[in-house]
Structures are given as structure tokens and as C-alpha cells.
Amino acid sequence: MGSARRERRFELIGGVVCLEFVNTVGWRLTDHPGEYLGSYEDLLDWGEQAGLLAPEQMEGLLRQARLDPEGARQTLSRARTLREAIQRVISRAIAGESHHESDLSALNRELSISLSRLRVVPAGGAFGWDWSGDDGEVRLDRPLWPVARSAAELLTSPKLGRVKVCAGEGCGWVFVDESRNGSRRWCDSRDCGNRERVRRHLARKRATRS
């Protein structure tokens, strides 16, 4: 966990925090999905890139993880459990299927923790929400708080009806379709969209040869 560690880069296409978190698995719908949260440091890299952690928070969490490696491992396990619960609840909602109580329970466990860390704070002459505590302790699960809150907000908002699964074969990434006519199909038209265009082109070539 030294300063020379290699930072993992994440592609953020989901539109809301909880979907970006779900997308930390690559090619989810294939036989060989890719796990992008391979370590606690990966979780912190994701949190920083998603705008959830300031640099000084990142450094504090890295130091705490060095002091408490078992706590860091447990937090990573909680993160993956939360991610998969969110993915299943949202996927079943998109498909119009009923949720599994165990998945919603897993989300609500983390939501209860996260909401206990919310505070009202002064913000530019008014007030706003912030994640903080009054004991000064560095909490290893800090990156999970906004994820759980984001999932709860998405599931209880009309925006849930605009969530889609990428049409790319095997991709499985999810996103909020903010296009005017609801026509977005791909996580990234330059990636999965281009793959599909190439696939169709090759299929047409094979058809003309037969």
C-alpha cells in the first residue's frame, strides 16, 4: 500500500453512484466475469474516481487499512456483498420480477449504517448533507455509505424506470438512460456498440458468401 502502488482505473458510465458500483464487474453475463474490486485499495480507487473520496480521505483510509488489514478485508467482502445485492434487486426490477428478501435485507443493513453517518452541515450560507462523525475515527467502510444511499434513492425514484442493461452480448453493465427519446442501448457506443456493429457486419458478409 505504499505510494508506488498501481492505481486501478474505472470507467464510469452508469449515471448514478450505485450503478457505477454495480459496474465494477466486467462482462458480468459471460462465463468468465472480471472482478475489478480485487483489493481494498481497488475499492478506494473506485471511490476516489467516482467523486466520493477526497485525496486526504483516501490517504487516511489507506493508512487505516495498513493498520487493520483484517478490517480492510472484511470491508471489501461487505462491498462485494452490497454490490451483488444491488445488482440483483435492480435487475429484477428492470425485468418486472419480485425481489428476493435476502438482497433487500443486505442493502438495508448497509443503508442503516450509512444513514447513521449522515450529518446536516453548514454549506455556503445554507445547509447540506455530509458524511461525518464526531469521534474523528477513520472508518474503513466510508466508501460504502454513499453507495447504499444512492441505491435506496434510485429504487424509490421514477428514475428506476430509465435504468437499462447494456445490449452488448455478455456485458451486463447498467446505466440510467437520460437520452431524450430513451433510445440509448449501449454502456458505451464506442465499445459495446462498436462490437455489435462489427458482429453484424461479419454476419452479413458470411450470409452473402453462403
Domains of the chain: 17-209 (1.10.3300.10)
Contacts for 115 with CB less than 8 Å, ≥ 6 apart: 149
Q: Which of 148, 160, 154 is nearest to 108 (CA)?
A: 148
Q: How many CA atoms lie within 13 A of 159 on its CB side?
A: 19
The strand pair at 118-123 and 174-176 is best described as unpaired
Helix residue ranges, H only, 95-193: 101-116, 144-155
Rounded-to-integer distance, Cα 94 and Cα 154, Å:
12
With residue 40 as reference, give the H or E element that holds it. Answer: helix 40-49
Low-confidence ranges of the chain (pLDDT < 50): 1-2, 201
Task: Annotate 168-201 with b (16+ C-beta within 10 A) or e (fewer).
Answer: beebbbbbbbeeeeeebebbbeebbbebbeeeee
The x, y and z cell numbers of residue 163, run together, are: 435504468
Instruction: Yes or no: say if 18 and 154 are a contact pair by the CB < 8 Å rule.
Output: yes
- pLDDT score at 196: 67
Q: In which residue are the cell numbers 475489478 written?
A: 36
pLDDT digits (tens, 9 = 90+) for 102-140: 999 999 999 999 999 999 999 989 999 998 755 578 999
- pLDDT score at 1: 45
Q: What pTM did the predictor assign?
A: 0.90
- pLDDT score at 3: 52
